[in-house]
């Protein structure tokens, strides 16, 4: 409904913006920032830093593992999402890869589908999440390992 009022239907903004402030991301960042020692915040306040300065110079550099975890898991969730693009877009220019695979598969419903082409498309669609995980694995593991710890 908000995408319709904001004029976001058939735009990439309707696909990207709702994912930026997901409840999952808020939860992960909250859990991470709870583990940051209060002394760091207090020391920055004693030095005269405001809230934004504390966030940009002290908290954000420390939150690398949490940022990487949220980015990887949100990217993977959106990469494999089929429902949101079906709801918000209708033009073929904005189709995501999963929509394209679905359209190619459903076109072959009346005919014999070209299975080799479909399998090649599925392999290509699977490569991106695997590469993303391999590149961000150390941050992901570091963040998951420190999630339950209380400083």
Give, for all 151 residues of the chain, the pLDDT tens digit: 556 666 778 888 888 888 888 899 999 999 989 988 888 888 889 989 899 999 998 888 888 888 888 888 888 888 888 888 888 888 888 888 888 888 877 766 666 767 788 888 889 889 988 898 888 777 767 655 555 555 4
Other CB atoms within a 10 A radius of the CB of residue 22 amount to: 15
- Calculate the alpha carbon distances from 126 to 17, 29, 96, 114, 121 in Å: 24, 28, 14, 19, 9
* The Cα angle at residue 40 between residues 38 and 42, in degrees rounded to 5: 70
Task: Give the pLDDT confidence score for residue 65 in this predicted structure.
Answer: 83
Asked if residues 95 and 16 have their Cβ atoms less than 8 Å apart, the reply is no
pTM: 0.73
What phi, psi does 46 have (nearest 5°)?
Answer: -65, -30
Task: Give the pLDDT confidence score for residue 125 in this predicted structure.
Answer: 87
Q: Where are the domains of the chain?
A: 21-146
Q: Considering only CA atoms, which of 40, 39, 37, 28 is closest in space to residue 64?
A: 28
Classify residue 7 by burial, with Cβ atoms within 10 Å: 0-12, 13-18, 19+: exposed
The CATH code belonging to domain 21-146 is 1.10.3720.10
């Amino acid at each position: 409904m908000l995408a319709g009022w904001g004029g976001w239907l058939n735009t990439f903004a309707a696909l990207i913006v709702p994912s930026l402030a997901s409840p999952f991301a808020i939860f992960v960042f909250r859990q991470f920032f709870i583990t940051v020692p209060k002394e760091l915040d207090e020391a920055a306040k004693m030095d005269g830093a405001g809230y934004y300065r504390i966030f940009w110079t002290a908290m954000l550099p420390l939150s690398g593992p949490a940022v990487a975890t949220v980015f990887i898991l949100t990217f993977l969730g959106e990469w494999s999402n089929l429902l949101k693009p079906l709801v918000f877009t209708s033009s073929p220019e904005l189709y995501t890869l999963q929509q394209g695979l679905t359209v190619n598969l459903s076109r072959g419903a009346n005919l014999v589908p070209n299975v080799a082409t479909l399998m090649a498309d599925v392999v290509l669609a699977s490569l991106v999440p695997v590469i993303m995980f391999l590149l961000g694995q150390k941050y992901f593991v570091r963040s998951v390992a420190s999630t339950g710890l209380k400083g």
